[in-house]
Every structure is written in C-alpha cells, then in structure tokens.
C-alpha cells in the first residue's frame, strides 16, 4: 500500500518504493527486535490518526459540512445498515460483517502469533486484558476514521468518479488522489498522509516479521539446539528477521500483480491461513476426541479448500451484479481531451465497473468462486473442524481421561483451578543463585530441582520430579557444589 501511494504521489517507480519500504521495515525489526517493533507501533498509531484527522477536517470543510456529507452518502446508498441479504456472494451485508468478519477477527486475536506474542509478553493476565481493551479502542478509532474518510471521498466525487473518468487506474489509488487534490495548496500535507500510510503498513509488517522469527526460534531451533548460547540465539533471531523480511518483500511484489485491492488481499490471506489454524484450536479446546492425525488432516483440508477458493475467485472475479456493487457517476468530470468541444464535461452516468470477460467461464465461477472474501475464513475453519472430527474418529479418538486437566474449555468453564506456570527466571535466580554445579543439568519445575533426571509428564497433584519440563540450564562455574 505505501509503495503504491509513494508511486502515486512522487512518480517514483513502484518497484523502487516497494524494495525501499521493505528494507526500512526489515532493518529496524532486525536490529531492534520486539522493543523496536512495540515502540514504533506506538508512534505509528499517532501518525496514522493524525493523517486521518487531517483528511476528515479538510474534506468536511470542502464538502460543506457534516450534513452535506451524510446527505450525499444516504442518497448514494453508501450508508446502509439494513442490508440483510443472505446471499453469500454479496460482498458487504449485515451477515458478511457479523458472521464472516467475526470469524476473521477471532482468528487474528485468538490464534495469530503476532497477537498472542504480545499477550504473553505482559507480566500478568490482567495486564494482557487491559492491553487488548486499549487495542480495541485504537482499532475502532482507526476503522471509524477510515470509514469517515471513505464517506467524505464519495461526497467529494459524487458526480466525478476518478476511476471511471480515468484519472486513476484502480480504486486503491483513490485516497492518494484525493489527498493530492484537497491539499494541493498545503505544502507538506500530502507527506503527512504518506507517513500515515507508511505507518500502518510498517506496523503490520514489522509485527509479522518479528513474530515469525520468534516462533521459528522458540519452536523449531531451541528445542533441537539446546546447547546454543544466548548470544548465538540472538544472532539467529536477527538472521531470521532478515530472512523473513526479504521474503515479505518478494511476496509483496507478487501480490502487486493480483487484482482486488489491498483490503481484499489482506482479508483473503487471513481467511486462507489463519482460519484453518483457528479450526485446529477449536478442535483441541472444544472437541475432546480430536487427535493429532485428525487435526493435521483438518488443517491440510481447510488450507487446500480456502486456497482453491481464493485462487478461483482471483482468476474468475464475480460480476458487479453478483457482488452488489453500487453504481458510480462521472457526469461532472472535466474533460481530459482539451480538443473536445463538449462543454467541459464527460457524460458518464450510472456506470458500474465491469468484471473482466472470460469466454470459458465455468458455472462454478458464478457460485462457489463468487463467495464473498469475508466468508473465506468460515470455509477454512469449518472444513478443518469437520475433516478433523471425521479423521479423528476413523483413526481412534483421544480418550477423555488421557487429556491433562486445564486443556479443555469444559474444565475451565467449571471454575477449576490449575497450577500456574512458574516464573522460570525467578526460580533460576532465587533457587540457584548460591548453587554452583559444574557439568550438571538442573531442571527447574515448580520450584523443585531434580539432578540428572529428565522429567517427562506433569503430575498436577504431587508436583514431584516427574513433572513436565519447563526449562533447563547448565551451570558450569568455578566451584563444584552438590545440589
């Protein structure tokens, strides 16, 4: 998105702006890590809101006030809270937002590594709850501001759609076009919007890069290379951030070749990838008979179906009539051809953007492929759950008594209390600060030290040395002391 805007504002080649954006994001994420990501996110939110507020204030003034904006929006059916059409092919209805949108955001806030990483970074569960609440306030402010900017944009160009008139080639370029238009006499104002757009994308990209590097290090490398020092782990983490940053730039370059817009692309990726994962968590938390084979089979099926649906939708985009696209007008646009003698206007009226013609269009293209992209997440989650349950029963369901307490929602809903995860760092400091053991592996578990013994499974009743391994450390120091 910011690469596109930079190209629109400065005429800089889109590939140059894309690579430069990726390098900036990768650099500060690699060098600064989690701390840099969090603090840049804070600053970037302020910049984003500043850009939105500037557009809202200036746009409202040019249209003639809030009343004029609302009148234009209502007359053009741009504000409609009563569209209860159940047709899943309609892009934006009450049901697509409530049902489809809920599943998409549930996958984002429930199982997405980038979000969960921040929850567990909080000191207490209460702090995590407060962080989520503050996040929701910020999210609502940003989404509401974006919606208001869209309504103002429609009111400004109610009778002169820049896409139909040919001023811009895609709807993603509408906001940059409007900013350059309304702030033409305000030096520096377009730069503020450019900074706001960059802030939004850099915030998301840096969070994703940092999260992928962290989960790869913790789940794939550390369990297999326990002998690595902290310094080496930090270097590996930085290398992973660099690797994922380069990969993000490459995928961004590929995504620029696809149609549908930035918003649709981002929600499509969420539905294809995150929602099958949400289905796997639902299997594990709510369906006790689920087993590993069933979950893996469900994940594969959910991902395959979602990917097939998204690729089909991109290759055979639905017609505007199926999507419920509202008509636009360019009746009052100034003519682009100065040699024309048509009284300064181009007579476009009530035009609807047309989908590309496909001579060999299959019937499935107007049914299955035409499904609203906000429903991709539901398809992925339901496929994962259904296939997971069926395969689990066919391969031997998990027995209820073999599931450790606290892993199922049913246990938590009954108000049962379970042992809290110990503060490993505190245990390392408090329990072992006076103990020096050369070449002895010490396992730290619920405050109990077990010399040369490898715990395997947690005993929630006795808390003895057969408990689950929480952490381990080697203490090769100067003097030998028996534990």
At 133, list the tokens. Answer: 């609440």
Q: Where are the beta strands (DSSP E) in 114-219?
A: none
Q: Residue 404 domain-assigned? A: no
Q: Which of 257, 292, 310 lies at the terminal end of a domain, its last residue?
A: 257
Residue 465, pLDDT score = 41
User: What would the two tokens of residue 109 be?
Assistant: 């806030």
Residue 318 lies in a domain: no
Q: What is the pLDDT of residue 281?
A: 93
For 317-373, the pLDDT digits (tens) are 877 777 777 888 778 776 554 443 334 344 444 444 444 555 566 677 677 888 888
CA angle 455, 460, 463 (to 5 degrees): 55
**How much is the pLDDT for 321?**
75
In a domain, 296, yes or no: no
Best CA proximity match to 40, nearest among 192, 248, 235, 207 = 207
pLDDT tens digit at each of 483 positions of the chain: 666 666 666 667 777 777 777 787 777 777 777 777 777 777 778 888 888 898 999 999 999 999 999 998 888 888 888 788 888 888 888 899 899 989 988 998 888 888 888 888 888 889 999 989 988 898 899 889 989 999 999 999 988 888 888 888 777 778 888 888 898 888 887 777 777 777 766 777 777 787 888 888 888 888 888 888 888 888 888 888 888 888 877 777 666 665 556 677 778 888 888 899 999 999 999 999 999 999 999 999 999 999 998 888 888 887 777 777 788 877 877 655 444 333 434 444 444 444 455 556 667 767 788 888 889 989 999 999 999 999 999 998 988 888 887 788 877 766 555 555 444 444 444 444 444 333 333 333 333 334 444 444 433 333 444 333 333 333 333 333 333
154 in a structural domain: yes
Cα 221 to Cα 215: distance, rounded to the nearest angstrom:
9
Nearest CA to 245 among 183, 281, 202, 277? 202
pLDDT at 473: 38
Give the residue from 230, 257, 284 where a domain finishes.
Answer: 257
Report the chain's C-alpha Rg in angstroms.
Answer: 27
89 CB contacts (<8 Å, ≥6 apart)? 318, 322, 323, 367, 370, 371, 372
Separation of alpha carbons 176 and 51, rounded Å: 12
Residue 379 lies in a domain: no
- Token pair of 80 as six digits: 């409609």
Q: What is the pLDDT of residue 416?
A: 55
DSSP character at residue 229: -
- Residue 119 placed within a domain: yes
Pairing of strands 448-451, 346-351: unpaired
Number of structural domains (the chain) is: 2
Out of 257, 291, 306, a domain closes at 257
SS3 448: strand
- Residue 248 belongs to a domain: yes
Q: Is position 416 within any domain? A: no
Note the pLDDT of residue 455. 41
Residue 378: closest CA among 94, 105, 129:
105
Can you give the residue range of the structural domain that contains 203? 1-76+112-257
User: How many residues in total does the chain contain?
Assistant: 483
Residue 30 CB burial class (10 angstroms; 0-12, 13-18, ≥19): buried
């Amino acid at each position: 998105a910011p690469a596109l805007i930079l190209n629109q504002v400065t005429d800089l080649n889109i590939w140059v702006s894309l690579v430069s954006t990726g390098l900036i994001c990768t650099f500060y994420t690699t060098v600064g890590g989690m701390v840099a990501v969090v603090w840049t996110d804070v600053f970037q939110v302020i910049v984003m809101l500043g850009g939105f507020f500037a557009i809202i204030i200036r746009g409202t003034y040019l249209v003639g006030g809030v009343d004029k904006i609302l009148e234009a929006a209502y007359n053009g059916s741009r504000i409609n809270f009563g569209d209860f059409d159940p047709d899943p092919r309609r892009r934006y209805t009450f049901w697509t937002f409530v049902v489809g949108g809920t599943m998409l955001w549930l996958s984002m806030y429930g199982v997405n590594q980038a979000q969960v990483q921040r929850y567990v970074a909080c000191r207490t569960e209460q702090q995590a709850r407060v962080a989520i609440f503050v996040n929701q306030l910020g999210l609502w402010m940003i989404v509401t501001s974006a919606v208001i900017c869209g309504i103002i944009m429609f009111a400004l160009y109610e009778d002169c759609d820049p896409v139909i008139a040919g001023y811009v080639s895609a709807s993603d370029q509408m906001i940059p076009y409007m900013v350059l238009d309304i702030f033409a006499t305000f030096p520096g104002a377009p730069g503020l919007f450019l900074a706001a757009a960059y802030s939004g994308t850099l915030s998301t990209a840096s969070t994703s890069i940092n999260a992928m590097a962290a989960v790869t290090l913790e789940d794939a490398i550390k369990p297999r290379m326990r002998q690595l020092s902290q310094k080496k782990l930090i270097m590996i983490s930085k290398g992973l951030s660099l690797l994922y940053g380069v990969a993000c730039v490459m995928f961004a370059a590929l995504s620029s070749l696809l149609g549908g817009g930035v918003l649709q692309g981002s929600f499509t990726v969420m539905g294809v990838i995150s929602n099958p994962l949400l289905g796997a968590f639902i299997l594990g938390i709510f369906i006790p008979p689920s087993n590993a084979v069933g979950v893996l089979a469900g994940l594969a099926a959910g991902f395959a179906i979602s990917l097939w649906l998204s690729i089909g939708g991109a290759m055979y985009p639905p017609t505007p009539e199926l999507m419920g696209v509202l008509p636009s007008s360019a009746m009052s646009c100034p003519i682009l051809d100065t040699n024309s003698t048509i009284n300064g206007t181009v007579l476009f009226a009530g035009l609807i953007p047309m989908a590309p013609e496909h001579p060999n269009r299959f019937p499935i293209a107007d049914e299955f492929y035409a499904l609203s992209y906000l429903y991709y997440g539901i398809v992925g989650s339901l496929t994962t759950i259904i296939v997971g349950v069926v395969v689990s029963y066919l391969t031997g369901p998990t027995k209820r008594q073999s599931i450790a307490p606290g892993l199922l929602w049913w246990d938590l809903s009954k108000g049962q209390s379970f042992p809290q995860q110990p503060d490993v760092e505190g245990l390392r400091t408090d329990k072992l600060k006076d103990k020096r053991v050369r070449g002895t592996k010490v396992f730290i578990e619920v405050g109990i030290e077990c010399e040369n013994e490898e715990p395997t499974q947690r005993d929630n009743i006795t808390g003895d040395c057969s408990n689950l391994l929480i952490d381990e450390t080697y203490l090769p120091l100067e003097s030998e002391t028996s534990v």
